[in-house]
Amino acid sequence: MLLLIWVAAGLLVNLPARPSDWLSMPHLRLSIEVAAVILLALVLPGAFPVNRGSGLNRSPARSERWLPDLLLKLAALGLSALVLLRGADLVAHAAAGRPLDLGRDLFLLPALWDVLAGDPMRLALVLALWLLPAMLVYVLARRGQDLARRSLSGPRRRAVAVCLLGLVLAGDMALLAAGRGGGPVGAGALRLAAVQADHLGQRARIDAELAAAIADDPAAILPGPALFPRLRGHDVHLFFMESYGWSAQHDPRIAATIGHRLNDLDRVLKAAGFTVASAWLDSPVVGGQSWLAHGTLLSGLTLDRQPAYDYALTAGRTTLVDLFNRAGWRSVALMPAIRQVWPEAALFGYDRVLDAAALDYRGPAFGWPTVPDQFSLDRFVAEEQAPPSGRRQPLFLEFAMITSHHPWGPLPPLLGDWAMAGTDHGTVFGTAPPPAAQPFPAATTDWAERYANALDYTLALVGRWATERMPKDALLIVVGDHQPPLVTPAGAPRSVPIHVISRDRSLIRAFMAEGMTPGLMLAADAPVRPMSDWRDLMIRATREAPQPIARLGEAG
């Protein structure tokens, strides 16, 4: 019976991060963690029931029994905590395509709750699938401890059980040292816990590295007149396209749809007089935490976890927002997904933030994205781009698009008449017909098809914006934030496309001189540069003098 408990609990403690590995050899290995929790009952004094009497046969007093019993319960709870850690690792692989990293993922809990809270059934399912295995392991561990106390109560039996376990573990370690992958017993859950403890301990090192980078930043001292002279007087629009990654162009399940859309968009842009250049950037994240990608591109520092992001902002790292403000642009953040207080806005230094409250959208929500991107852009035009006086500063717009945000639910209509978008605070989106000519059925349950639909819609909207609403002399930069969740296969690149779009051919040539290539499509194996390079690349590509500042390309 003890062996059955060991095997059953071990299947949960050893649960692999990928369903394809379930019932593989590593999954079927006996768990040293389960054995240790059960066999703790063999070595704790006072943990065994004995006959009442005197001397050596005296039953332990209650004050002598409570401590061993408490330790056994704590050990079983520790085993349950390892199962919770395994479950979190499985979620990280499924949602973000990477292993769990508590150093960054603990800060995601509010965002995860925000996504799940809108669907109570899904929230209940996720909690059940995460908590029930841990509860079951606790029950099994306590049952195993009770059986061990009853069936191995004699000193000789206890000694034999402990010696046998020691021999098995010694043989397992010998096999590991010989490079043979270990034997029938393993401690994978403890190794996962050790890795996570190491992640949590890295914050001090990250802070020190960021402090050095922030202190030695040539861009921080560039005067306003030296910044972006080729863009002087022109609007600059930076669109972060949610979940637009390498898979959009090269995953066979998605590439045909998005490739067709990109080719069509390329023709539309060229017919309207635009020139386009593109490149791959290596995003610091996969599947989520878009703000870390935004912060990385804006700051010129790789911010791949929340502590790094927090430190860079509070320490005053010079961002593209700061640089455009210094050079005379008015900076506007269009953030339809921000529905709560956003203290980071003050640290970035935007002149204005158009969040969900400021946009005042009253139409229907379309899944998690509660505000259609077309409505957000229409409000930006009304509020900032077309003031009644007709005179304004050039605008630096940062727009966090959300229509292609997971879970890719029903798509909002794509209105043919932009003037209708703001009608009665967007209620028109509840009555207009849904977008036509979707590549896949709107009700499809396939994640890849849903993602392709949402991204196809978003790219079509970008084309409409560039050719119909954007000022003719503006520079449009469209960049993906990260690879999509649930769709990105294990081992896929973290690369995201970035496109620069302008009617100024010589300006786009300057970006090509920095390594970008013509057109919207990118080869799967085209060069990839860190996303943190973009801040300084943009300074270089828009300068007039050949070398305005030494070492600028080394910053960040």
Instruction: Give the tens place of pLDDT for each residue, 414-453.
Output: 998 898 888 888 899 888 887 777 788 877 888 999 999 9
Q: Which residues pair with 354 in a beta bridge?
A: 334
Confidence of residue 479 (pLDDT cuts 50, 70, 90): very high
Nearest Cα to 110, choosing from 297, 285, 342? 342
pLDDT reading at 397 higher than 70: yes
Confidence of residue 457 (pLDDT cuts 50, 70, 90): very high
Mean pLDDT of 73-92: 79
pLDDT reading at 195 higher than 90: no
Nearest Cα to 530, choosing from 168, 231, 102, 213? 213
Average model confidence (pLDDT) across the chain: 81
Q: Mean pLDDT: which of 19-33, 317-331, 367-381 is highest?
A: 317-331
Does 379 or 194 have the greater pLDDT score? 379
Residue 263: what pLDDT?
95
Residue 20: what pLDDT?
62
pLDDT reading at 204 higher than 70: no
Nearest Cα to 76, choosing from 39, 124, 105, 116? 39
Mean pLDDT of 482-510: 92
First CA to last CA distance, the chain: 59
Residue 551: what pLDDT?
45
Residue 394: what pLDDT?
95
Residue 232 and residue 229: Cα distance in Å, rounded? 5
Mean pLDDT of 156-166: 68
Beta-carbon contacts of 462 under 8 Å, excluding residues fewer than 6 positions away, are: 239, 241, 265, 476, 478
pLDDT reading at 43 higher than 50: yes
Residue 398: what pLDDT?
97
Residue 494 and residue 522: Cα distance in Å, rounded? 14
Residue 182: what pLDDT?
47
Does 544 or 532 have the greater pLDDT score? 532
Does 131 or 379 have the greater pLDDT score? 379
> Tokens 């590439």 — which residue?
255
Residue 171: what pLDDT?
60
> Tokens 């007709």 — which residue?
390
Does 18 or 549 have the greater pLDDT score? 18
pLDDT reading at 67 higher than 80: no
pLDDT reading at 546 higher than 70: no
* Token pair in block for residue 192: 């996962």
The Cβ-side half-sphere exposure at 291, using a 13 Å CA radius, reads 20
Instruction: Report CA-CA distances (Å) from 124 to 19, 105, 395.
Output: 21, 21, 45
> Tokens 């490149």 — which residue?
279
pTM value? Answer: 0.67
pLDDT reading at 51 higher than 80: no
Does 510 or 76 have the greater pLDDT score? 510
Residue 304: what pLDDT?
86
Residue 88: what pLDDT?
79
Confidence of residue 80 (pLDDT cuts 50, 70, 90): confident
Residue 367: what pLDDT?
75
515: left (phi over 0), alpha (psi -120 to 50) or beta: left
Instruction: Give the whole-number percent of the chain exceeding pLDDT 70.
Output: 75
Residue 89 and residue 95: Cα distance in Å, rounded? 10
